[in-house]
Amino acid sequence: MAKQVNTLFWDIGGVLLNNAWDRDERRDALAHFAIDEAEFEPRHQPLVPAFEEGRLSLDDYLEQTIFYVPRKFTKDDFKQRMFSLSHALPENLSLARSLAASGKFRMATLNNESRELNADRIATFGLHEIFGLFLSSCYVGLRKPDAAIYRLALDVTQKPAEECCFIDDRAANLEAPMRLGMHVIQMQSVGQLQADLAKIGVA
């Protein structure tokens, strides 16, 4: 007999909120401060693993990508712009909130995000009211799509894979958890997500 799904792991950027510091957000901030993207990106890309795994602070990241030369704006100015770019995906967030309120499911995040942006988004959008566990890359030192982060999620929750579902907007991030035996759903719309959740008994 198939086991009932009782644990839901959620990506944040692209599922509950917009992305924190993806290409669109970076382009917005760079344009706002008139910074050449062609100069910024080669500095940004090598730092992404350390930044998202919590080994590089936001201040150190900005020192290496933006403030390696004098600027007419401050580091706080740039941070404020970065934080201001986040916004909720209201219908998706409402669905997660209602599932949490039902009391039927253990709710956890499983996302790639730098420490300061992650903390700001958790606080700003009240994610602590929905989720009891935050398996963010910056806290666990692992990133999707590395299978190790999904194995850690199962170890920490002590749940069999078949009782768990992972929701992400990127197909590449679903391959490893599927191999581990977890249910997976690629988020495309809130209606599609609700329908796919219903197929595995989550309603």
Domains and CATH numbers, the chain: 7-19+87-199 (3.40.50.1000), 23-84 (1.10.150.240)
Answer yes or no: are the C-beta atoms of 145 and 176 closer than 8 Å.
Answer: yes
Q: How far apart are CA 88 and CA 47, in angstroms?
A: 26
pLDDT score recorded for residue 2: 64
Answer yes or no: are the C-beta atoms of 162 and 3 closer than 8 Å.
Answer: yes
The residue among 21, 75, 68 whose CA lies nearest residue 48 is: 21
Answer yes or no: are the C-beta atoms of 177 and 160 closer than 8 Å.
Answer: no
Q: How far apart are CA 26 and CA 94, in angstroms?
A: 27
Q: How far apart are CA 134 and CA 153, in angstroms?
A: 10
How far from the centroid of its chain's Cα atoms is residue 114's Cα?
9
Q: What is the bridge-based pairing of β-strands 106-111 and 7-10? A: parallel
pLDDT means over runs of 10, the chain (203 residues)? 88 98 98 98 98 98 98 98 98 98 98 98 98 98 98 98 98 98 97 97 93
DSSP 4: P
- CB hemisphere CA count around 103 (13 angstroms): 0
SS3 87: coil
